Amino acid sequence: MKEENESAETEIHSGLNDRIAQRVRDLRAARGFSLDALATHCGVSRSMISLIERGESSPTAVVLEKLATGLGVSLASLFEAPAPAADPVSRLADQLQWRDPHSGYLRRNVSPGGVASPIQIVEVEFPPGARVAYETSAREPLIHQQVWVLDGVIELTVGDELHRLATGDCLAMVLDRPTSFHNPSRKNTRYAVVIATAPSSWR
């Protein structure tokens, strides 16, 4: 049973790597970036981007966030299906999960993929003691994010501001400064992230 589960997880992970590969290729092409230009823009090496675009690398969340910043999208956008969803309902069984190879945190894109909406919802399970630090900077258009703790506790640092969030707490923020997540407790923390791209009328 354990071998079957590991095989299934490997297959899912491989499928997600292929999805990320296509999304990065498509977004880079849409913005007219060469590999060298994107590497300079986001601080990820050309060789690493090339490996990611071929589906031959299992990048960490930190690397993917750098790519997302350079491409002007949210991290969640890199996990979207390339084709628009035929069904506006995202079924639990169809929501693929991705585990960060560095911290072990597990993320699940809840929102229907490919639907034309400025809102995305992600659910995250963050392991005890884990920490992830993102070198986030401003995108155009601005991306707003709210973190709602469903169970447990998380320490979220936005720029120089430290916020300790417990079950039920919700933090509103803009993705324009370095951000870090830390679970100081001895049990998993589960939280939802709601992401919205701001139209010009919001400013």
The reported pLDDT for the residue numbered 7 is 43
Give the gyration radius of the chain's Cα atoms.
Answer: 17
The reported pLDDT for the residue numbered 112 is 86
Structural domains in the chain? 2-79 (1.10.260.40), 92-202 (2.60.120.10)
The reported pLDDT for the residue numbered 116 is 74
Per-residue pLDDT of the chain (203 residues; tens, 9 = 90+): 544 444 444 444 557 888 899 999 999 999 999 999 999 999 999 999 999 999 998 899 999 999 999 999 889 889 887 666 667 898 999 888 999 999 999 999 999 876 778 899 999 999 999 999 999 888 888 899 999 999 999 999 999 999 999 999 999 999 999 999 999 999 999 999 999 987 644 44
Question: What is the Cα–Cα distance from 69 to 4, expressed in whole angstroms?
Answer: 36
The reported pLDDT for the residue numbered 87 is 79
Q: Output the 3-class SS for the chain.
A: CHHHHHHHHHHHHHHHHHHHHHHHHHHHHHCCCCHHHHHHHHCCCHHHHHHHHCCCCCCCHHHHHHHHHHHCCCHHHHHCCCCCCCCCCCCHHHCCEEECCCCCCEEEECCCCCCCCCEEEEEEEECCCCEEEECCCCCCCCEEEEEEEEECEEEEEECCEEEEEECCCEEEEECCCCEEEECCCCCCEEEEEEEEECCHHHC
The reported pLDDT for the residue numbered 140 is 80
The reported pLDDT for the residue numbered 79 is 87
Residue 203, C-beta contacts closer than 8 angstroms, at least 6 positions apart: 142
Tell me if the bond preceding 141 is cis, omega within 30° of 0.
yes
Question: What is the Cα–Cα distance from 41 to 170, expressed in whole angstroms?
Answer: 32
Question: 60-95 burial by CB neighbour count: b if 16+ within 10 A, else e?
Answer: ebebbbbbbbbbbbbbbbbbbeeeebeeeebeeeee
